Amino acid sequence: MSVAACLLLYSFTAAVLAPRLLVRLTHAGVAPQLGVLAWLAAIASVVASWATAAAFLVGELVTDWNQPGRSVVSACLAQLRAVAAGNYGLAVQLGLLALTTLAAAALAVLLGRLGKSLLRARTSTHEHARMARIAGRRVEGLDAVVLDAPQRAAYCVAGRPHTIVVTSAALAALDQRHLDAVLAHERAHLAGRHHLVLAVTRGLAAILPRIKLFTTGAAEVARLLEMCADDAAARQHGARTVLRALLTLSGAAPIPTGALGATGVGVLARAERLAAPPRPARRLRTRLLLGGFAVLIAAGPLLTGGLAASGLSFCGPM
């Protein structure tokens, strides 16, 4: 019981503190790859501690059921029995059974929903890619399909095979160098399997919208992945070319869909860091902090569980 309780306490603390700390460390995009890693480590850490806590609860219950008098729960029950001096032992045990079942069921539902949302994402994304490949035109020497559309847009869709889509308006606006930079950016997304990361983080955020670690995490990871792809394109074609391409595609009149503004903020940060890359000293400091954070939070559930199990933790045997 104490291990499970400590893990839940840990996950609660991590879910509250991690997003605040990480936003501060990653928002400027100084080390985007490490930033993504740190966010994913934090998210995985919380989910893993839930799973471990549920496993421990179930384990405790099973041991307790089979060998009364051995586990912490039994000790607790014995105390309660002594206090209540009635036949409350069974009631408490049944309560514990209900609690454990509830926790395990909640976890199963969560994982089931996540799996479903991943499958849904895969289906609609592959379908979009397939449609784009049929409706899009092929241009000789261009590693993308061209959709006839008045909006300037370029994006990539995972599918079989993966597909990069460029609109005819974007194609007309970009010259060859800038187009190459845009394609390099999209290829970096596909090569890095960013769509899988996005599907998981967005899925979690949609299932548990109240947990800030997941919602903020999904948005920040998306931003950081754009920056990673920018860096990959900049390595090949130069930061200024990527910046020029960003500017060219943003020059069009915004599309009136009512969804404006919410997502565009990331573009400014991307442009700023392409225009003025962070200094080496700052980069090193951010890397060290993020690396340390990632290691610590990845080891978090293990440390908490270990401390609780050995009884050294402040949680103590409960």
Partner 1 sequence: MRGFGDLEAVVMDRMWRRGGETTVREVLEDLQSQREIAYTTVMSTMDNLHRKGWLSRKRQGKAFLYWPSLTREQYSARLMRDALDGGGNPSLVLSHFLDQMSDVEAATLRTAFQRAAAEEETR
Question: Residue numbers of the site for partner 1 (CB under 8 A)?
Answer: 117, 120-121, 123-125, 128, 131-138, 143, 147-149, 151, 153-158, 160-161, 165, 167, 182, 185-186, 189, 194-195, 198-199, 202, 206, 225-226, 229, 243-247, 249-251, 254-255, 257, 259-261, 263-268, 271-272, 275-276
- In the complex, what is the shortest distance from the CB of residue 113 to partner 1, in angstroms, rounded to a whole number? 12
- In the complex, what is the shortest distance from the CB of residue 275 to partner 1, in angstroms, rounded to a whole number? 3
**Contacting residues for 230 by C-beta, under 8 A, at least 6 apart:** 185, 242, 270, 273, 274
- In the complex, what is the shortest distance from the CB of residue 210 to partner 1, in angstroms, rounded to a whole number? 17
- In the complex, what is the shortest distance from the CB of residue 241 to partner 1, in angstroms, rounded to a whole number? 12
Select 195 or 237, whichever has its Cβ closest to partner 1: 195
267, 172 Cβ separation under 8 angstroms: no
Tell me which residue of 72, 13, 59, 66 sits closest to 311, measured CA to CA.
72
- In the complex, what is the shortest distance from the CB of residue 217 to partner 1, in angstroms, rounded to a whole number? 16
CA distances from 194 to 124, 156, 198, 224 (A): 16, 10, 6, 10
Select 136 or 305, whichever has its Cβ closest to partner 1: 136
Question: Rounded to whole angstroms, how far apart are CA atoms 168 and 147?
Answer: 6
Helices (H), the chain: 2-26, 32-66, 72-84, 88-135, 168-173, 176-191, 194-207, 212-237, 239-250, 265-275, 280-309
What are the backbone angles phi and psi of residue 178, rounded to the nearest 5°? Answer: -70, -35
CA dihedral sign of residues 299, 300, 305, 306: positive
Strand 163-167 vs strand 145-147: parallel, antiparallel, or unpaired?
parallel
Select 69 or 261, whichever has its Cβ closest to partner 1: 261
Select 18 or 121, whichever has its Cβ closest to partner 1: 121
- In the complex, what is the shortest distance from the CB of residue 122 to partner 1, in angstroms, rounded to a whole number? 8
Select 41 or 182, whichever has its Cβ closest to partner 1: 182
- Contacts of 104-107 spanning 24+ positions with Cβ under 8 A: 104/54, 104/57, 104/58, 107/50, 107/51, 107/54
- In the complex, what is the shortest distance from the CB of residue 108 to partner 1, in angstroms, rounded to a whole number? 21
Select 61 or 132, whichever has its Cβ closest to partner 1: 132
What are the backbone angles phi and psi of residue 28, rounded to the nearest 5°? Answer: -75, -10
Select 70 or 116, whichever has its Cβ closest to partner 1: 116
Which amino acid is it at 136? G
Select 80 or 271, whichever has its Cβ closest to partner 1: 271
Looking up tokens 């860091």 gives 273
- In the complex, what is the shortest distance from the CB of residue 29 to partner 1, in angstroms, rounded to a whole number? 14
- The DSSP call for residue 193 is T
